[in-house]
Structure 1
């Protein structure tokens, strides 16, 4: 076992107090929640506006979206309505961003490890199949049983926004679970649109699309000017899909799956830093352009495109889609027809009941059988709330209503069903989350260690049967963590084999830009049995933890550097750090170091003597015998 020896030095004078760091972290979380809420609220306002517009002036609503447009030169031109422009062209951009997310999750995200992916994958598949079966069963006599695709998909935008509005107090791990589930859900929905709801199929244009997609793949090897090439090929592929009869929005998915995604390479990052340093020493246009291009190229085009398009999708494309498709006419006659329509009830039961039973039921079975990975905070009551929230099918549901159901009356009944199901799912989820929070008292949140110490997973210094345990959630760039490490060393010297010390990661990335990289590097070093040696090296030089410094430290410790660099982006490394961070969030840890003494959160000073007193409280005085 490595010797636990840490170099102690004074805290960074620029570090803020723990209290101010906590306040800033809370403010960051509030801003993050606000961003998620805004997208959902804008979508909701567009939906309300569409319903109001359709009912105030149904003629103007339909006339506006039926306005015909023509684009072209000479004999080459396209004719389409405003409604088709939104559903066929703008929604291709939406599905493009969905495809980017799918590609990222399978390459470097949550779905890279089967043990992590099995629960959301199985839950998503059950959440696709059961709603469709219930819909067919309920709507069999409506003449629209083939429209079962309406109930299969969850609206990710509404899901994330609603989770921010009504979700549990600590939504982190549930949010990761629901986003992974939504990715698989999207794959299923897109596949069904392509295979089931494609009419008048003409294969020849798909050969042109295939050639365009090959071009998209090889564009990554161009040294420059890739943006215009991607854009030109994307238009060609979209037009080929349109001509083939396959819904053109799927062109966006096909292109997105070929866009490269990778974690930043340390050499690219170092090169960008060198160029930035050169620009700082000699500011001019050439160096500025070179530094900006190098910084941009160090991030994969997948992630750059997601960041670039996300605001337009959330604040423009999806609201326009809602405005063009949610304009259901609500009259006593239509509501009366919807109330007795098996089509409407099939949609409501499919989305509300089917999604809930499929997702929650499959997760409960997996947990009972101990299959897959359920981290702290991902309890069945919280999964129940997420499963209820998944009944909001809105975007893709309305999209499939438009392509799978003929007849204005039937479409109105279907839209009433989609809107009603979304409202009911939101209300049910709100109730479930409030009941769930009632069983997780606020005053006890974070006072008890949520994940028991496991020597097979955790970084443990000391014997497993030691009577005393300190678990530290820390950050390798934090001066206060360095100070605490010196105190813990003194405690270890005093208690010897009676103490077991455990390190877990809680990098404060908003204050320490290299903290996350340091945590992942320590995990990569642990795969070669050198975690505590690497920890000691990081603490001894907190000011220099850039990628080159981290690799230099690995070389100095005698690690296999090639394996170390590969492991830096390995799923088990990034997943371990992420799990520690989610555990920290679940316990309300907003400043470091945070110590748990024998499983209970320590408050107060963390000098050696205070820690020893907390570890070994005096035995209670014996109660004197009572006289008879």
Structure 2
């Protein structure tokens, strides 16, 4: 079971434990979370309840990881190009606005209209965990879509917390916080001691936010947005490998330390921090938050009051109906007006399930209950609404995914090429109007793909101008650790018009695909090596390979090479005679040609 599922399970267990605890021993629950915590000496001290410490201090770590993810997605992830991010961004904005509008409409005149922020946010941890548990088969592209949406959703929620639910601002602490953030930005230029510098400045910034009136958890977001992120540089990776080889030849502590430091430095600080803090957030921070905030009293009088409360129905309708209408409706409209497109294999039926799943608004929704609602009784009703909406959304999404899998089974989708050949995008060898089309999904480190190159060459010799050949990436990184890097290198070569030449060089020597080998091939082919290296580190190149890999997953391609002949999946031997026979038997009848 992956970390995502374990984290979601722990969050669920902590939620149930909090509900059981508060209903069995409410006095003990209130006593524990009302415990005073004093940090400091004499006049320089912080005074929290345990509940307040979790929400104001511990949750800053959660918001820090959210900020790291936002920063990464905009720098090297799915949100680097507006054209790629357009649909999830529009869907996320609609998913913020529609639930808020429905909540205000339902609670109008009750005095609780201002709590509309409770229904705006989707819980990313539960969203990803639920998708892993109940999502459709091959959910990769839907997962990418929902994660991009969740990042924008988080940005919206954080902005609303800062702009709407922050009062009594103090100017001097804000100025000091700004100075601390400037210091955090320049820490990246230190040659050593960056870790302690980040830690000290982060604590000071958090204290300044706390004193300023801005909710201190937002300090975590502000700090994370200033942490540098970049794709690993091939030269840095090669240097780390050289040091590791030196350590293997002469094992001693100095070489070990140098190799470890070099490996660590080849990865951006952002990604190192995400790796370090993700388990802490999943296994400790969020379950602790749920234990402190999900304690909902469910006696008969509370349930009766909640049932008749516009606040409860505003939250349930806002999250369950509003999120679905916002996400699904916006995705549908972008298609109608051709503003953007969904990826191959990601239809509106799957977006519908994802839209319903976005109604799980747990962490930030519960977090905002305390900020947006002053009355304790109404807070309890609001928590009932958040939990009820999350359960309902999960149940409906389960049904939607099961129905769509029955209506559109993956076995049918896998038989047909989900993304038609596009000469502007694909790597095509042959005429665009050729009557035969052969598409291969493969990886450059696969021995069977190497053997298939001979068959493809023979097919091209036999059929000549009547066939066009298309290569697409399906790197099996679980078995071929260098396949991803090789695919990205081929894409970088393609930007200089040398894709097939680079492909040939990769297959000619599959044993040597390390960073130095990748650069050597670029020099041997006469490429602009400086530009080649820059392209290797670009988000566009990585996204191009990831797109092909997601297409392969959508068609359940688990082994390479996999061929599609005239748009249909080829089953059986892939020798030249078999491929030619399949091409001739499945070719459409065209003017002037009949197979």
Query: Aligned pair 1:227/2:200, yes or no?
Result: no
Task: Tell me if the contact between 1:141 and 1:342 (Cα under 8 Å) persists in the aligned partners.
Answer: no
Query: Aligned pair 1:413/2:381, yes or no?
Result: yes
Query: Aligned pair 1:556/2:513, yes or no?
Result: no
Spell out, residue by residue over 1:335-383, the C-alpha distance to the aligned partner (whole angstroms, 9 max, x if none).
1111110111111111111111111101000011222231112110100
In 1: Cα distance, 2:196 partner to 2:42 partner: 24
Query: Aligned pair 1:456/2:424, yes or no?
Result: yes
Query: Aligned pair 1:51/2:19, yes or no?
Result: yes
Q: Give the structure 2 partner of residue 205 of structure 1.
A: 173
With over 3 angstroms needed to count, the CA separation of the structure-2 counterparts of 1:50 and 1:618, relative to structure 1, is: closer
Q: 1:538 aligns with which of 506, 514, 520?
A: 506
In 1: Cα distance, 2:378 partner to 2:343 partner: 44
Task: Tell me if the contact between 1:204 and 1:244 (Cα under 8 Å) persists in the aligned partners.
Answer: yes
Q: State the SS of the aligned residue for 2:79.
A: helix
Task: Tell me if the contact between 2:3 and 2:279 (Cα under 8 Å) persists in the aligned partners.
Answer: no
- Taking structure 1 as the reference length, the TM-score comes to 0.92
Query: Aligned pair 1:594/2:556, yes or no?
Result: no
Q: Give the structure 2 partner of residue 367 of structure 1.
A: 335
In 1: Cα distance, 2:409 partner to 2:14 partner: 37
Query: What RMSD, in angstroms, separates the aligned Cα atoms of the two structures?
Result: 1.2
Spell out, residue by residue over 1:528-574, the C-alpha distance to the aligned partner (whole angstroms, 9 max, x if none).
11110110111111111112211111111111122211111333322
Runs of at least 4 residues off by over 3 Å = none
Q: State the SS of the aligned residue for 1:588.
A: coil
Q: 1:520 aligns with which of 488, 498, 508?
A: 488
Q: Give the structure 1 partner of residue 591 of structure 2.
A: none
In 1: Cα distance, 2:110 partner to 2:5 partner: 37
> How far does residue 442 in structure 1 lie from its aligned partner after superposition?
4.0
Q: Give the structure 2 partner of residue 436 of structure 1.
A: 404
In 2: Cα distance, 1:309 partner to 1:116 partner: 28
Task: Tell me if the contact between 2:345 and 2:554 (Cα under 8 Å) persists in the aligned partners.
Answer: yes
Q: Structure 1: which 5+ runs fail to align? A: 1-30, 620-628
Q: 2:62 aligns with which of 94, 99, 123?
A: 94
In 1: Cα distance, 2:251 partner to 2:341 partner: 51
Q: Give the structure 2 partner of residue 312 of structure 1.
A: 280
Q: State the SS of the aligned residue for 1:142.
A: coil
Q: 2:322 aligns with which of 348, 354, 358?
A: 354
Q: 2:143 aligns with which of 175, 200, 206?
A: 175
- Taking structure 2 as the reference length, the TM-score comes to 0.97
Q: 1:282 aligns with which of 223, 241, 250?
A: 250
> How far does residue 141 in structure 1 lie from its aligned partner after superposition?
2.1
Give the paired residue count: 587
Spell out, residue by residue over 1:67-87, the C-alpha distance to the aligned partner (whole angstroms, 9 max, x if none).
001111233211111001110
Q: 2:113 aligns with which of 140, 145, 149?
A: 145
> How far does residue 222 in structure 1 lie from its aligned partner after superposition?
0.9
Q: 1:303 aligns with which of 266, 271, 275?
A: 271
Query: Aligned pair 1:163/2:145, yes or no?
Result: no
Q: Give the structure 1 partner of residue 449 of structure 2.
A: 481
Spell out, residue by residue over 1:160-185, the C-alpha distance to the aligned partner (whole angstroms, 9 max, x if none).
00111111112100000000000000
Q: Structure 2: which 5+ runs fail to align? A: 588-595
In 2: Cα distance, 1:63 partner to 1:218 partner: 44
In 1: Cα distance, 2:101 partner to 2:93 partner: 12
In 1: Cα distance, 2:261 partner to 2:531 partner: 29
Matches within 5 A, 1:234-273: 234-273=202-241
Q: Give the structure 2 partner of residue 8 of structure 1.
A: none
Task: Tell me if the contact between 1:115 and 1:373 (Cα under 8 Å) persists in the aligned partners.
Answer: no
Query: Aligned pair 1:217/2:189, yes or no?
Result: no
